[in-house]
Amino acid sequence: MGELVLAGAGHAHMMLMEAIPDIIADGHSVTVIGPDERHYYSGMGPGLLGGVYSPGEISFPVKSMVESRGGTFVSGKVARIDPHRRLVILEAGQGLPYDVLSCNLGSFVPSDLVYEGSSNVYTAKPIQNLLLARTAVQEIGSKRPVRIGVCGGGPAALEIAGNAWAAANEKGCFGAKIQIFTGSAFLHNHPDRVRSLAFKSLNKRGIEIIHGSYVEHVATGSIKLQNGQYYEQDITFLALGVKPSKVFAASALPIGKDGGLRVNRYLQSMAHPEIFGGGDCIWFEPDPLDKVGVYAVRQNPVLMHNVRAQLQGRRLSPFEPGGSYLLIFNTGCGKGILYKNGLSFGGAPAFWIKDYIDRKFIKRFKSDVG
């Protein structure tokens, strides 16, 4: 009998959690570690800020998913992994033994630019932050137009700006003045057509893009740029890109250039074959992957097969990242921007497609639990 531990209950572990009864039937135990009884689907997070979704609509009840299938759910955060003793050590000090470990510990938005103790500053992750931010936007916006700064120049900044605008323009609110701060060109890694659609969406709502100087620091009520300019804000969002969990560096495990767990084509640690990983927390050695949710979804069947194969002593299967993927940005107010293989369009149809895909994914993995 083997002990399987899943560190993290995110997107890349959904099929493994679904397969818990089969893993137990093979003679193994399954323990899942998660920081919360629910896991929020990041692809729908901006819609939570914009008021399109409720928390229950965009989250998986992972504790009940695990326990209803015969597994053990442990509420906590992973501090580090001891690969020599085969222990996962939680921040609370508890050590959980494993024979096989799979990690889906996600990523975080760096907050080094924020002065300690600052208030009304929200990172794009964890997703629950966006619900707190929505409350803050509407609380201030119910009295006067709210000043909102968004630090970042990528898709997350676009989605947060658009959905913050939506939250501030609901009935009973006075609207918002929103500024996006990007040191380089906005959406510089994306096709011109996508950028054009984004500018059109932002301009229509009076959302200003300020570029040419990076953010130096953020404090309560203000943003300071490296060129010395200050901008007063009521609420600031950090959407500066994500970095993998710090757990692997803290565990002295082999890591990639970004700090993610270095894995081979089987999604398996380069140094410890009993450790696997998926999603934002890994560095895929054969061909480093973008930090987009589609890869976590694509890794599901391979992680499920390889983790079970490792427990049973069977042959592993390689992960093939696949070709181009569909990009859809939620720009707020029930509208979006879609792009794939040269095709791009904006407006309500783009959002409808995204909403359908996201709801279908959510429904599959929580159809039999509350």
* Alpha-helical segments (H) within 9-101: 14-18, 20-25, 45-50, 62-68
- pLDDT per residue as tens, the chain (370 positions): 899 999 999 999 999 999 999 999 999 999 999 999 999 999 999 999 999 999 999 999 999 999 999 999 999 999 999 999 999 999 999 999 999 999 999 999 999 999 999 999 999 999 999 999 999 999 999 999 999 999 999 999 999 999 999 999 999 999 999 999 999 899 999 999 999 999 999 999 999 999 999 999 999 999 999 999 999 999 999 998 899 999 999 999 999 999 999 999 999 999 999 999 999 999 999 999 988 889 999 999 999 999 999 999 999 999 999 888 999 999 999 999 999 999 999 999 999 999 999 999 999 887 655 4
CA distance 140 to 293: 33
- Same topology, domains 3-35+76-108+242-324 and 121-241? Answer is yes
- For domain 121-241, say whether CATH 3.30.40.10 is its number: no
- For domain 3-35+76-108+242-324, say whether CATH 3.50.50.60 is its number: yes
Tell me which H or E stretch contains 274.
Answer: none
State pTM to two decimals. 0.94
In the chain, where are the structural domains located? 3-35+76-108+242-324, 121-241
**Residue 39 burial by CB count (10 A; 0-12/13-18/19+): exposed, middle or buried?**
buried
Tokens 């996201």, residue located: 358
Strands 327-332 and 282-284, by their bridges, are unpaired
DSSP string, 113-167: TBPTT--SEEES-STHHHHHHHHHHHHHHTTSPEEEEEE-SSHHHHHHHHHHHHH
